[in-house]
Amino acid sequence: MGVTMKDIKELRSRTGAGVLDCKKALNAVDGDIEAAVEHLREKGMAAAAKKAGRVAAEGLVSLNITEDHQKGILVEVNSETDFVAKNENFQNLVSDISEHLMQSTSEDVEAVSAEKWFKDDSKTVNDIIKSAIANIGENINLRRFAKFETDGYLYGYIHLGGKIGVLVDFAGEYDEANEQTAKDIAMHIAAINPEFLDRDSVDAEAIAKEKKIYHEQMVNEGKPEKIIDQIVDGKINKYYTQVCLLEQPFVRDDDKTVADILAENGMEVKQFARFEIGEGIEKKEEDFASEVAAVTKNQ
């Protein structure tokens, strides 16, 4: 099976590499997208391996936390346009879905969608969304949610009117004296987008994959074999500072890490969730077919 335009488009969105480089990479690995991503990174042609690509979906991220700060919901509901996201009916729908989730025991979107609606048990959540689609005139999608229940306390933050939402689970008891620091940590997560809490949270397979890629980069750059392992270790340590919340330079004072700020205030983060509207949903690119055809013609 040959390399398709769809394959090239996906690989380009994930790596930022050129169309022709993507085509060559896919041909080199028999069309395997994951292998092609690694191939491009090893050759230094890809800036990153994030699966998300450019985004198109609109909508809202909504936050709901109980008064005792021990139960919270972060939810993303998508619409087709930002215009609808600002519509009062859509905003009320998102608020109601959030309230429904606070009462639900389900852990995934499919199960929630089949539940009886908390305001009217003659309808399901899916029925309510379909009704909103008919009334508003755009496709609407309950995409994902995070639900935390804790013996510590929760703090949440919504950025840009619902474009980004963060929910953080702190150890200990809620203390108004630490509220500003809790807010600063939540804002840091919104701005810097850590992928993991700490080193122990990073999947071992992901680290092994990064090490392999860094090793191949060094080989391709002609570095002496005897120093490659040392260089790779340095790159892995830097990788941790980029993806782990506790090791990231604090956004308000980059002379300190997030862990430093927490320690200074006697605080501890147990877990967090961060949603950004539309992340990972591919954007429609109307001219991609002609671009690929032009670049790949006679190749």
Residue 137: which pLDDT band, with cuts at 50, 70 and 90? confident
pLDDT for position 50:
42
Residue 47 has pLDDT above 90, yes or no: no
Percent with pLDDT over 70 in the chain: 90
Residue 39: which pLDDT band, with cuts at 50, 70 and 90? confident
Q: What is the C-alpha separation between 219 and 229, in angstroms, rounded?
A: 11
- Tell which CATH architecture fits domain 1-54+282-299: Orthogonal Bundle (1.10)
pLDDT for position 80:
87
For residue 48, give Cα distances in angstroms to 44, 127, 261, 292, 298: 10, 40, 29, 22, 29
Q: From start to end of the chain, where are the E strands?
A: 58-65, 71-79, 116-117, 120-124, 141-149, 153-159, 164-170, 249-250, 253-257, 269-276
What string of DSSP letters covers 215-259?
A: HHHHHHTT--HHHHHHHHHHHHHHHHHHHBGGGSEETTEEEEEHH
Beta bridge partners of 276: 164
Residue of 9, 220, 55 whose CA lies nearest to 22: 9
Residue 184 has pLDDT above 60, yes or no: yes
Quote the pTM value: 0.75
Beta bridge partners of 55: 282
Question: In the chain, where does the domain assigned CATH 3.30.479.20 lie?
Answer: 58-197+258-276
pLDDT, the chain, mean = 88
Question: In the chain, where does the domain assigned CATH 1.10.8.10 lie?
Answer: 1-54+282-299
- Enumerate long-range contacts of 107-116, CB under 8 Å, 24 or more apart: 107/147, 109/142, 109/143, 109/144, 109/145, 112/142, 112/145, 113/142
pLDDT for position 48:
41
* Top CATH class, 58-197+258-276: alpha beta
